[in-house]
Amino acid sequence: MSFSWSAKDHKSYTNPPSNPTQGLKRPRNETGNKVIVVLGAQWGDEGKGKVVDLLATESDLVCRCQGGNNAGHTVVVEGKEYDFHLLPSGIINPKSICVIGNGVVIHLPGLSHYITFFSQFSDQVVDGIQETQRQATEGKIIGTTKKGIGPTYASKASRTGLRVCDLLGDFKEFSTKFKNLVEQYQSMYSSLTVDTESQLKKLKEYGERLRPMVRDGVYYMYEALHGPPKKILVEGANAALLDIDFGTYPFVTSSNCTVGGACTGLGIPPLNIGEVYGVSKAYTTRVGIGAFPTEQLNVTGELLQTRGHEVGVTTGRKRRCGWLDLVILRYAHMINGFTAIALTKLDILDVLDEIKVGVAYKINGKRIPHFPADMELLHKVEVEYETFPGWKSDTSAARKWNNLPQKAQNYIRFVENHIGVPIKWVGVGKSRECMIQMF
């Protein structure tokens, strides 16, 4: 069957209106409130929680848009340290409403301290089994947090996942879906055992406790965007180089932790994205395995690990450490369009005699013009460095730009100019008071 279209099919107006939009209803606050997005610019653990906590003091809404309890964000307020894995870091600000968006995978027991932890059946178990199988069959692992994030996103993509609306709907239907999911996993992993009825009982109880806190996310965010003026903050988990599409695949997480994840994970139109802040350490770290061109497997790496207390909040694993890599920062900027950068943990470099910065990658002595998608190629790159003299003085008490040593200022300006994004904050300690605001 074919269709044809002619000029006669076009609707014509003998007296077209002078104003084509006349009579159309316009929404309140037509352009909408702008959203600030905070994202990791490296492999995670950059200090996003600290930046979110700082911005949350002036925000009405603080939102998580992707990831799960594999994130580990540390905030220090008035000398007390808080670790957040699932809740937005703005939760300790009593004036902010915190939102966990549709793009986040929820570990129900981890969401509330007053629910007894249960894990006899959970994707955490499947995640651990998968890692064991990878080790046995391939001799290598991905290095997941074993928090069940990958299997949960996999079930979402295969349309067998369980959603909060399922839990709060017809529980008989939910039970059927749950049992089908159990059978599916047991057919793939024979060692997985599940007390189905016990877990359903706990899930039903938890669902009732959760019910008063659940809203339809699309309508809730629309009202927030188009209602009275509000400051809305989105906290990204993980980081650009862990993004499922743009990261160092397969050694990545299972969600989009770049700027697009803020839209799909909360139902926010791109039009409403305002400032996009990238967060980077003054050096580079990575948890787990995978290529790491500027890694320092020497005394320098050990010093950065020790001085920076580089241990994963979620896993407890030591982080691998190396020099700042401007190739990956430029790459992260290409994807996210950062409007400003927060450069954290500058004080960790205080004791070094000299400091190196990776500025380019080479293969066979020739610069390559882009960040390689092929991880085998990334393993082979040679890093071209710029070397700076260390400032050899304590910066932890600095609270203004002028308090920083000139050599530290030179280091910061080089980074800023090389990636082409202004540095808005410089971190010299754990607490929010240790963030020097530049503009």
**Location of structure tokens 């039970």:** 175
User: Is 45 marked as binding a ligand?
Assistant: yes
User: Is 337 marked as binding a ligand?
Assistant: no
User: Is 71 marked as binding a ligand?
Assistant: yes
User: Is 432 marked as binding a ligand?
Assistant: no
Which DSSP helix (H) or strand (E) runs through 420? none
For 201, how many CA atoms within 13 A lie in the half-sphere containing its CB? 6
Q: Is 430 a catalytic residue?
A: no
- Tokens representing 125? 């178990």
Q: Is 344 left (phi over 0), alpha (psi -120 to 50) or beta?
A: beta
Say how far apart CA 40 and CA 281 lie, in whole Å. 10
**Location of structure tokens 């790459």:** 331
User: Is 209 marked as binding a ligand?
Assistant: no
Backbone angles phi, psi at 396, to 5 degrees: -65, -20
Q: Is 195 a catalytic residue?
A: no
- Tokens representing 50? 């600290």
User: Is 64 marked as binding a ligand?
Assistant: no
User: Is 316 marked as binding a ligand?
Assistant: yes
Say how far apart CA 232 and CA 241 lie, in whole Å. 25
User: Is 169 marked as binding a ligand?
Assistant: no
- Tokens representing 306? 């020790």
User: In terms of C-beta density within 10 A (0-12 exposed, 13-18 middle, 19 or more buried), how is residue 128 classed?
Assistant: middle
Active site residue: 53, 73, 123, 430, which one?
A: 73
User: Is 384 marked as binding a ligand?
Assistant: no
User: Is 70 marked as binding a ligand?
Assistant: yes
User: Is 50 marked as binding a ligand?
Assistant: yes
User: Is 48 marked as binding a ligand?
Assistant: yes
Q: Is 373 left (phi over 0), alpha (psi -120 to 50) or beta?
A: alpha
Q: Is 156 a catalytic residue?
A: yes
Active site residue: 45, 123, 243, 325, which one?
A: 45
Which DSSP helix (H) or strand (E) runs through 224? helix 217-226
User: Is 75 marked as binding a ligand?
Assistant: no
User: Is 40 marked as binding a ligand?
Assistant: no
User: Is 14 marked as binding a ligand?
Assistant: no
Say how far apart CA 402 and CA 396 lie, in whole Å. 13
User: Is 398 marked as binding a ligand?
Assistant: no
Quote the radius of gyration of the chain (alpha carbons, Å): 24
User: Is 44 marked as binding a ligand?
Assistant: yes
User: Is 238 marked as binding a ligand?
Assistant: yes
User: Is 74 marked as binding a ligand?
Assistant: yes
User: Is 215 marked as binding a ligand?
Assistant: no
User: Is 313 marked as binding a ligand?
Assistant: yes
User: Is 392 marked as binding a ligand?
Assistant: no
**Location of structure tokens 């009732």:** 208
Say how far apart CA 298 and CA 84 lie, in whole Å. 31
Say how far apart CA 260 and CA 257 lie, in whole Å. 8
Active site residue: 34, 60, 156, 231, which one?
A: 156
Provide DSSP, 30-92: TT---EEEEEESSSS-SSHHHHHHHHHTT-SEEEE-SB-TT--EEEEETTEEEEESSS-GGGG
User: Is 173 marked as binding a ligand?
Assistant: no
- E strands of 250-381, at which residues? 273-281, 284-286, 320-322, 324-325, 340-344, 354-363, 366-367
CB atoms within 10 A of CB 163: 13
User: Is 72 marked as binding a ligand?
Assistant: yes
Please give the annotated binding residues, written as ranges: 44-50, 70-74, 145, 159, 238, 253, 313-319, 345-347, 427-429
Please give the annotated binding residues for substrate, written as ranges: 313-319
Please give the annotated binding residues for Mg(2+), written as ranges: 45, 72
Please give the annotated binding residues for GTP, written as ranges: 44-50, 72-74, 319, 345-347, 427-429
Please give the annotated binding residues for IMP, written as ranges: 45-48, 70-73, 145, 159, 238, 253, 317
Residues designated catalytic: 45, 73, 156
